[in-house]
Amino acid sequence: MYHEPRIPGNTGSAIRLAAVTGARLHLVEPLGFELSEAKLKRAGLDYHDLAVTDVHASFDAALGALPSSRVFAFTTRAATRYTDVEYRSDDVLLFGPEPTGLPDDVLAHPRVTARLKIPMLAGRRSLNLTNAASIAVYEAWRQRDFAASPDVT
C-alpha cells in the first residue's frame, strides 16, 4: 500500500512489481499525479493489465477494505527489522510518500500493527520507494515459499 504517492515513476514500478509477484497494490489518495500520466505508464511498461491496483479515497477507506489485515508501516524511525516478522497472506505493507515518508498520524493509527525498518548504513536517509517495497514484498513472498500468489498487499 502506497500512502499518497507523489512520483509517477515509482508507482509505475510498483504496478510492475505487483504484476510480477501477484501482490495487490493499494494506492491511498491524494495521488501526486494522474493514473494516465506517461511516466507512470512508461515505468510500468506493459504490466498494467497484469496487476491488480485499487485506489482508495483515504487511509481509513483503504483499511476499511482490508478489515482483518495486519498493517506493517515501513519507516526509518522503527526499531524492528522487516525480517523479524512472520508474514501472513493478508498482511499490508504500508509505505509513505516520497520524500517525506509516512506522517505521524498514520504511524500512530490504531490499525498499524508494527513499524518496520529496512537496515541501511548510518547517515543514509532512505531507499527509493519501490526499491524498499520490492525488498519487503519479496521477503514476505519468500516466507511463503514463493507461492503462486503471495496475496501480500
The annotated binding site is made up of 96, 118, 126
Q: Are 3 and 94 in contact (CB under 8 A)?
A: yes
Q: Are 79 and 104 in contact (CB under 8 A)?
A: no
CA 107-136-132 angle, 5° bins: 75
Q: Are 89 and 70 in contact (CB under 8 A)?
A: no
Determine how many CB atoms are found less than 10 A away from the CB of residue 63: 21
Numbered residues of the known binding site for S-adenosyl-L-methionine: 96, 118, 126
Determine how many CB atoms are found less than 10 A away from the CB of residue 139: 17
